Amino acid sequence: MNRHTHLGVYGVIIQDKEILLIKKARGPHTGKWDFPGGRIEFGEEPYEALQREIEEETGIHDFHGRIRTAGSYVMVHNYKKELEELHHIGIIYDVEIPNRNITIKLDGDGEDSLGTRWMKIDGLTSDEVTPLVKIVLII
């Protein structure tokens, strides 16, 4: 079985008891809700990756982030018709948006996201979110 480590950055954006999540378009969590974010590219600083990923997935470019925590999990999933053991590590940022009336991009980004949505935090269930969301929100 192949083993793979994925390191990403993710933003927790909360306003008025709602959280901004993206619906995964690919990978082992396709169709589940996740924090906006993703892979750190070669040579990229983590905060730069956070800025790039949040803008790509939500359209938000004016924000401030501060590291909240890091979390990880290991899972086995089917990757290209072969089982793979994935170790997913996420650096999680608390993200504040200065302009609370900002318009977010609701459509997917054509790669990782099927769309963005504000969701009630207390309405989320563990079967509809990714493991990183479960870890951070303790669902």
Q: What digits encode the pLDDT tens for the residues 51-63?
A: 999 999 999 999 9
Q: What share of the chain is helix, strand, coil (3-state, %, to 5)?
A: 20, 50, 35
Place of tokens 């401030």: 64
CA distances to 6, 81, 96, 126, 135 from 54, in Å: 18, 30, 12, 23, 20
Residue 135 pLDDT grade (very low, low, confident, very high; cuts 50, 70, 90): very high
pLDDT in tens, 68-125: 999 999 999 888 888 999 999 999 999 999 987 788 888 887 788 999 999 999 999 9
What fold does the segment set 2-137 form as a domain? Nucleoside Triphosphate Pyrophosphohydrolase (3.90.79)
